Structure 1
Amino acid sequence: MTAPAERPLLFLDIDGPLIPFGSPTGHPQATDAAAATPADQGNPLLTRLDPGIGARLMALGCDLVWATTWMDEANEAVAPRIGLPRLPVVEWPDAGAEEGPRGLHWKTRPLVEWADGRPFIWVDDEISAVDRLWVAAGHPGPSLLHHVDPAKGLEDADFSALAGWLEAVAARPR
């Protein structure tokens, strides 16, 4: 009997993919002031979060990981608003850490290191062709670097692309 394969990782950015920068959508939010956390204070963009998107992300069947500059605040201010449990958080290197080729996003190397060969999806609004080439050359497992339109955030077409990639990875012989 072989050991079951680990589920793919899904590295998730917040600004752009979950909080779109386009016109506000005005998603209904709980207005209970007692539910507010210190991380909520002074951030009007949190009203742009879609409260149903967490269930859609969980349904993908990945191990979700915050890959955002929000760090632990993602678990305090964002996760409860969209129906996610506490998630692991990628710790970013200090500024001036080992750099890659020109144009490589500062998140790329730490995400590949975190994945450690596991299949992964990276959902962000700042992914470039340089990132895709670097990951293809340096990551031994399957990967999908999925760019999200920051004006719109994650949409149905994005979820279809993620689900399609996950189905293809699951169908691959091990």
Structure 2
Amino acid sequence: MTERPLLLLDVDGPLNPFRSLSAGLRGYTSHRMRPDVWLSYRDPESRRARRGVRVRLHPSHGARLLALPFEIAWATAWTHQANTLIAPHIGLPADLPVVDWPELFARDPDGLSWKTRHLLDWAAGRPFAWVDDMITPQDRAWVREHHPAPALLLRVLPRHGLRDRDFAALSSWAAELSPAGR
């Protein structure tokens, strides 16, 4: 059996439309969470740190992601906490692979996203789709030039989160891959 392409998934932006004013009207539910990455920028004694950050998640997204022909992995600053804090609320397994970053939010010398170079290393030549809110045209060009396999870099706006058209784009892209790439 051949490997399916990777789906490298960010949390904030695609799954948590943190800039949306109407997420609740679109079926998202709010949760208060205290992820380590968020707490690292807060005074632990502050009211904000005690309350946690509001995270909006859509309960149907897990099933929709699992229905896609991909091997899902977390590509987020939430790291392993995506499995414990996010996955249960959207119906994803709690043991998905996680991209471990050498350094969170490191400045890239060429102005790429802090994730781009490491994701290519992590994908190890496999086809992948990367879903994130911080993808730029520069990242797309760099991946085209440096990754030997097909790659889809899907930017999702943090005021919208994943939408039907994003799921359709992922499904269509995976269907276009040759059987050898699946």
Q: Give the Å deviation of 1:25.
A: 2.2
- Give me the whole-angstrom Cα distance separating, in 2, the residues matched to 1:114 and 1:18: 21
Judged with a 3 Å threshold, the aligned counterparts in structure 2 of structure 1 residues 167 and 73 are, in CA distance, closer, same or farther, namely same
Compute the RMSD of aligned alpha carbons.
2.7
Deviations 1:97-132 (Å, cap 9, x if unpaired)?
79442x211100111011101100000010001101
Aligned twin of 2:151: 143
Question: Structure 1 residue 162 and structure 2 residue 170: aligned?
Answer: yes
Shift in alpha-carbon separation, 1:30–1:125, aligned structure 2, 3 A: closer
Higher strand share: 2
Report the secondary structure of 1:11's partner residue: strand
Mapped partners of 1:9, 1:73: distance in 2: 20
Tell me the equivalent position of 1:90.
99
Q: Which aligned pairs between 1:1-150 and structure 2 lie closer than 5 A?
A: 4-20=1-17, 21-26=19-24, 27=27, 42-46=51-55, 48-86=56-94, 87-94=96-103, 99-101=108-110, 103-150=111-158
1:154 shift after superposition? 0.2
Query: Are the counterparts in 1 of residues 7 and 130 from structure 2 also a CA contact under 8 Å?
Result: yes
Distance 2:28 2:138 in 1: 38
Structure 2 unaligned residues grouped into runs of 5+ = 36-49
Q: TM-score, normalised by structure 1?
A: 0.83
Q: What TM-score do you get using the length of structure 2 for normalisation?
A: 0.80
Deviations 1:9-31 (A, max 9, x none): 00000101001021142347599
Q: How far apart, in 1, do the equivalents of 2:107 and 2:165 lie? A: 35
Distance 1:94 1:12, change over 3 A: same
Task: State the AA in 2 paired with 1:23.
Answer: L
**Size of the alignment, in residue pairs?**
164
1:45, distance to aligned residue in structure 2 (A):
2.5
> How many angstroms apart in 1 are the aligned matches of 2:105 and 2:8?
23
User: Percent sequence identity over matched residues?
Assistant: 48
CA deviations on 1:15-71 (whole Å, 9 max, x unpaired) are 01001021142347599xxxx9875x734523x200010000000021111111111
